[in-house]
Amino acid sequence: MKQAARKGVVLGDFSPVNKAQIHMIEFARHYVDEGQLTIVVDEHAQDTIPVAVRVAWLNELFPGVTVKRIKSATWHKSDGADFSESLVKGLRRIVPKNGGHIFCLEERGKLLAANLGAAFIPVDPSLIGFTASEQEIRKNPLKHWEALPPCVRPYYVRRVCVFGPESTGKSTLAKQLAERFGSVAVPEYAKTYIEAQGKEIDADDMLKIARGQCASEDAMAREAKNGVLFCDSDLVTSIIWSGRLVGVVPEWLRNEADKRHYDLYLLTHYDVPWVDDVHRYIPKESPAFFDRCVLELESRQRNFVQIKGGWDERLELAVKAVQEMLAQ
């Protein structure tokens, strides 16, 4: 008689996915037969992270493993054995009638397995030296940064944009801050694009530059260390330059700029000597450009600090502003 396939279900909120849960899923994947594991994301009214985001994380981390979502009122109603009917009903469609295995980091998983007639398989996250709960991680993600996989980190990373007129030390400051805080800096994509094209830019080029800036930032957000990412430029910068150089601002650019969030802007003042560069366009317009930067940030109610003075003074002002932001 052919032996039934050994199937299993990993159940959790995954809010957020973390080191302990990854260990649990890998354990379960190797415990059951190949291709017989299902990850179930519990979706309920208390969610703090959209379920689509959590499902996307799991699909990326475990390609080839089925990921499903079950909407329930909560894990349980009042006590550990009283699970919501929608959760149990949903799991009965997944867990085999002749048994199956339930993997869970929490003790109440044992009660749920008994309710479903499945075997409860305990997984001990302390084996990998990590026992922080999802609540503890959500409360202080920076403290548990190394427990978050790269695909999750962009959700929590604090973003600092260095912003201002030409020749005010933005690129240098972004790199200095990344070094000081042990993280990475996203370079200005416009320079990369213009050097590669070697021609006058038009409205279509501005869109490509803006998309490239977003792509660079989103890619490097996964590499951010210590919970902070430094960005040399953003889409508000692209809006200002698009209006100044080509006379129009594409609708996509305006809409996308409003969607993207930065925890802090460091607005670099023009009170330093101008340094000529082949990629600098308007040496006499720095005061007007600076005023436009202030206007754009204020109209969008963005959090910003002006960075003035000599180079050492500017760095110390920036470091202090970032430290205060991270402490909030």
User: Residue 260: pLDDT above 80?
Assistant: yes
DSSP E strands, the chain:
8-12, 37-43, 66-71, 101-104, 119-122, 158-163, 185-186, 228-232, 264-268, 304-307
Superfamily of segment(s) 157-327: P-loop containing nucleotide triphosphate hydrolases (3.40.50.300)
Report the half-sphere exposure of 32 (CA within 13 A, side-chain side): 29
CATH topology classification for 8-141: Rossmann fold (3.40.50)
What is the pLDDT averaged over residues 156-161? Answer: 97
Report the half-sphere exposure of 150 (CA within 13 A, side-chain side): 9
User: Rounded distance, CA 10 to CA 235, Å?
Assistant: 40
User: Rounded distance, CA 216 to CA 213, Å?
Assistant: 5
Of 182, 193, 144, 185, nearest to 161 by C-alpha is 185
pLDDT in tens, 117-145: 899 998 887 777 777 888 899 999 999 99
Give the per-residue pLDDT at 123.
86
In terms of DSSP H, where are the helices of 134-234? 134-139, 153-156, 170-180, 189-197, 203-221
pLDDT in tens, 203-213: 899 999 999 99
Among the ranges given (38-47, 74-83, 159-168, 177-186), the one the predictor scored with the smallest mean pLDDT: 74-83
Residue 311 DSSP SS3: helix
Name the segment(s) of the chain with CATH classification 3.40.50.300.
157-327
Kindly report the backbone phi and psi dihedral angles of residue 141, in degrees, each rounded to the nearest multiple of 5, phi listed first.
-65, -30
Name the segment(s) of the chain with CATH classification 3.40.50.620.
8-141
Give the per-residue pLDDT at 78.
43
